[in-house]
């Protein structure tokens, strides 16, 4: 009985302390003058992260008065609601929870300011989950980040862009021939194909390993039970089970087949990375360091050369090299693959955009079978505009979390007069959640923000060759901004442009539907468009990246030009 009383007392004291902390936080939040909503769970804590998939359908049925704060912290919700809540609650507002207060900002001024000042607004601890194969440029902060970024930046040079271009052309040509041989030209689950292309471009430009598009599963090499391609694919698509498996070590085999398989894939993938690093070092020594332009070679060379430069030189440990190789694959795979899938689905809805891009392709590429990167890429402005517009609407990272050092001033748009700026200082340790998607779908940044209009990125000229790509306005940050801007931005742009150009040069994309796949004829185009639109809209987050929830249902008809 006494034990029960003691437990009750502890629980009551805990609850009272939580309510008191919440009250103090709320009072402090009021001092900022920003609008406030509340949420019962810490959005950056494990319970919220783990339970979000279960909580989401429940929250959908709850009135906003009970669940608004929690909805606002959900990345998927932020994508679905565009800039709705920023309009209702202000460009900047606060969500108070018992564990922390979070400022949510869809304010172009605040987003640019925060991303510009990496030291005052570091990435939260949450990013450490990305360290499964070693600390890397994406997960660290401070001096550690400056060192890692300096060593990894040379990986993304123009020689790599040229490799990316050539491999993307090769992959997409093979993808198009497989599409054209599909029954009735109808391709379902295009996302699978764009994922294969993205993976193969990464392994080629990243690791110097070339696969054919429809090669399928390859045999494991000696000493392995899984091929490199399969282990990488499995690690990328099962990130959460891989984290569990890595954390549990040998115990992982007892935690069910998904975690067991994820553990095997992670082990195999790490072993492949070890072998590649050893092989790369050996061939550098043999060939007297004749530089190969791929990412792994540049990474090892830059790091190893620095190691010889004395005790203060910049270095990466072998674990950090592995961590960075993994992060290039992780950050560069689904992001680019899903952007391509969204672009193709939108092309099917907008035949006029396809013809607009095809006009440029005819002018720039002419009959050239193997267009050279340096000659044509800068001239393919309309194709690049399609990417800008696609990630404006379907950016892979709809929200980005940051911590705030105490007493840091933040520049924001003045709530009283939007033509001016103001500064706020938050009175206690806050976190901030950047909502670039809200800014990118706001009518104050982009006219007709919900419409897919790649033409908005092009300044017309006297002729097609005189057209120019317009600079991105403040508030456009799908690749982030400031010192931590995505280092793979150009990599993804070159890949996207090469793939889109190959497809639209050869084919037209039409909307279709599942019934067509099973032989039904004469489906109304508007009905097909409606289905494609609904599938695009039914998107959610998978592994932290925005993607269609049912990509297998997306059916598009590919017609040869
Ligand atoms: C459509 C394609 C892509 C988009 C939209 C994109 C977007 C982003 C965004 C928003 C961030 C910042 C995330 C944050 O701060 O929380 C980021 C960081 C990063 N991205 Fe990308 N990315 C793309 C492709 C790539 C590719 C192809 C690679 C590499 C091959 C890559 C490598 C990285 C790395 C290493 C970081 C961390 C940089 C740092 O923190 O210093 N990304 N990316």
pLDDT greater than 60 at residue 308? no
Among 331, 433, 546, which is best to mutate for testing ligand 1, by the most ligand atoms less than 8 A from CB? Answer: 331
């040998």: which residue's tokens? 250
More confident residue, 286 or 136: 136
Say yes or no: CB of residue 397 within 6 Å of ligand 1.
yes
Assign 3-class secondary structure to 132-167.
CCCCCCCCCCHHHHHHHHHHHHHHCCHHHHHHHHHH
What confidence tens digit (pLDDT) does each residue in 81-133 have? 899 889 999 999 998 887 888 899 999 999 999 999 999 999 998 899 899 99
CA separation (Å) from 256 to 49, 136, 224, 251, 531? 21, 29, 22, 10, 37
User: For residue 63, what are its two tokens?
Assistant: 């009135």
Poorest-confidence range of 224-238, 257-271, 507-521? 507-521
pLDDT top residue among 145 and 294: 145
Taking the CA of residue 395 as reference, the ligand 1 atom at the shortest distance is 5
Q: How far is the CA of 145 from the centre of ligand 1 (A)?
A: 14
pLDDT per residue as tens digits for the range 393-448: 999 987 899 999 988 999 999 998 999 999 998 877 678 999 999 999 999 999 99
Tell me which residue has tokens 């952007």: 339
Is 486 annotated to bind a ligand? Reply is yes
Going from the Cα of 439 to the center of ligand 1, the distance in angstroms, rounded, reads 19
Is the predicted pLDDT of residue 283 greater than 60, yes or no?
yes
Query: Ligand 1: which of 340, 486, 492 to mutate, judged by most atoms within 8 Å of the beta carbon?
Result: 486
In the predicted structure, residue 309 carries a pLDDT above the cut 60: no
Between helix 142-152 and helix 318-349 the angle, nearest 10°, is 70
Q: 81-90, 254-263, 349-358 — which is least confidently predicted?
A: 254-263
Determine the average pLDDT of the residues in 371-387: 97
To the nearest whole percent, how much of the chain has pLDDT over 70? 94
pLDDT score of 281:
85
ipTM, two decimals, is: 0.99
431 pocket-lining for ligand 1 (C-beta < 6 Å)? no
Report the pLDDT averaged over residues 14-31: 86
Cα separation of 194 and 171, whole Å? 10
- pLDDT, averaged across the chain: 89
Residue with tokens 């061939």: 283
Q: Is the CB of 480 under 6 A from ligand 1?
A: yes
| CA-based nearest residue to 423, from 431, 414, 432 | 414
Residue 217 has pLDDT above 60, yes or no: no
Q: What is the pLDDT of residue 478?
A: 97
Helix runs in 308-458, H state only: 318-349, 351-365, 373-376, 381-394, 436-440
C-alpha 331 to ligand 1 mean position (Å):
5
Q: What angle do CA 464, 468, 471 make, to 5 degrees?
A: 160
> Which pLDDT does position 327 carry in this prediction?
94
122 in contact with ligand 1, CB cutoff 6 A = no
- Under 8 Å between Cβ of 68 and 399: no
pLDDT at 73: 72
Q: Is the CB of 327 under 6 A from ligand 1?
A: yes
Distance 485 CA to ligand 1 centre (A): 7
How large is the average pLDDT for residues 523-533? 89
**Cβ atoms of residues 316 and 303 within 8 Å:** yes
Q: What is the pLDDT of residue 243?
A: 86
Asked if the model's pLDDT at residue 531 lies above 60, the reply is yes
Q: Is 479 in the pocket of ligand 1 (CB under 6 A)?
A: yes
The CA distances from residue 328 to 84, 426, 478, 479, in Å, are 34, 35, 17, 14
Distances (CA, A) of 530 to 161, 186, 389, 524, 535: 37, 17, 20, 10, 9
Distance CA 551, CA 52 (A): 21
**What are the domain boundaries of the chain?**
21-126+406-440
Ligand 1: nearest atom to the Cα of 396: 5
What pLDDT sits at residue 497? 98
Q: What is the mean pLDDT of residues 56-77?
A: 76
Please give the structure tokens belonging to residue 425: 């200082």
CB 484 near ligand 1, within 6 Å:
yes
d(CA 410, CA 535) in angstroms, rounded, equals 39
Name the token pair of 254: 């007892």
> Residue 492's pLDDT band (boundaries 50, 70, 90)?
very high
388 lines ligand 1 (CB under 6 A): no
């Amino acid at each position: 009985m006494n034990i029960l009383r003691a437990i009750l007392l502890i629980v009551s004291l805990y609850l009272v302390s939580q309510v008191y902390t919440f009250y103090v936080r709320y009072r402090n939040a009021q001092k900022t003058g920003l609008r406030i909503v509340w949420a019962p769970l810490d959005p950056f804590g494990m319970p919220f992260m783990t339970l979000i998939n279960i909580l989401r359908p429940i929250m959908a049925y709850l009135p906003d008065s009970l669940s608004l704060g929690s909805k606002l912290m959900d990345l998927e919700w932020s994508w679905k609601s565009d800039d709705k809540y920023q309009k209702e609650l202000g460009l900047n507002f606060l969500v108070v929870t018992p564990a922390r207060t979070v400022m949510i900002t869809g304010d172009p001024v605040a987003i640019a300011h925060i991303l510009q000042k990496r030291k005052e607004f570091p990435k939260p601890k949450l990013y450490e989950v990305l360290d499964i194969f070693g600390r890397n440029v994406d997960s660290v902060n401070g001096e550690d980040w400056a060192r890692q970024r300096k060593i990894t930046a040379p990986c993304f040079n123009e020689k790599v862009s040229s490799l990316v271009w050539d491999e993307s052309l090769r992959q997409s040509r093979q993808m198009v021939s497989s599409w054209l041989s599909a029954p009735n030209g109808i391709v379902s689950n295009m996302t699978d194909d764009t994922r294969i292309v993205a993976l193969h471009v990464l392994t080629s430009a990243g690791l110097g390993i070339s696969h054919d598009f429809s090669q399928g599963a390859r045999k494991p090499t000696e000493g392995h039970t899984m091929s490199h391609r399969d282990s990488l694919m499995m690690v990328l698509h099962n990130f959460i089970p891989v984290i569990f498996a890595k954390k549990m070590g040998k115990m992982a085999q007892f935690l069910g087949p998904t975690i067991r398989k994820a553990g095997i894939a992670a082990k195999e993938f790490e072993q492949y990375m070890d072998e590649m690093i050893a092989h790369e070092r050996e061939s550098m020594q043999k060939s007297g360091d004749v530089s190969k332009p791929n990412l792994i070679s540049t990474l090892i060379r830059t790091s190893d050369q620095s190691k010889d430069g004395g005790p203060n030189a910049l270095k990466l440990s072998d674990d950090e090299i592995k961590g960075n190789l993994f992060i290039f694959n992780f950050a560069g795979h689904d992001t680019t693959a899903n952007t391509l899938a969204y672009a193709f689905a939108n092309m099917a809805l907008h035949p006029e955009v396809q013809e607009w891009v095809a006009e440029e392709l005819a002018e720039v590429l002419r009959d050239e079978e193997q267009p050279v990167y340096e000659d044509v890429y800068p001239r393919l402005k309309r194709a690049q505009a399609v990417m800008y517009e696609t990630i404006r609407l379907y950016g892979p990272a709809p929200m980005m979390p940051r911590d705030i050092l105490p007493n840091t001033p933040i520049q924001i748009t003045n709530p009283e007069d939007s033509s001016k700026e103001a500064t706020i200082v938050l009175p206690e340790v806050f976190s901030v959640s950047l909502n670039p998607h809200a800014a990118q779908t706001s009518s104050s940044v982009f006219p007709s923000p919900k419409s897919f209009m790649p033409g908005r990125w092009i300044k017309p000229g006297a002729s097609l060759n005189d057209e120019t790509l317009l600079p991105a306005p403040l508030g456009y940050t799908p690749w982030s901004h400031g010192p931590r801007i995505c280092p793979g931005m150009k990599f993804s742009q070159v890949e996207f442009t090469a793939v889109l150009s190959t497809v639209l040069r050869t084919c037209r994309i039409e909307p279709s539907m599942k019934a067509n796949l099973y032989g039904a004829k004469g489906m109304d185009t508007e009905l097909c468009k409606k289905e494609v639109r609904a599938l695009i809209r039914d998107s959610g987050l998978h592994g932290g990246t925005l993607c269609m929830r049912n990509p297998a249902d997306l059916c598009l008809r590919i017609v040869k030009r």
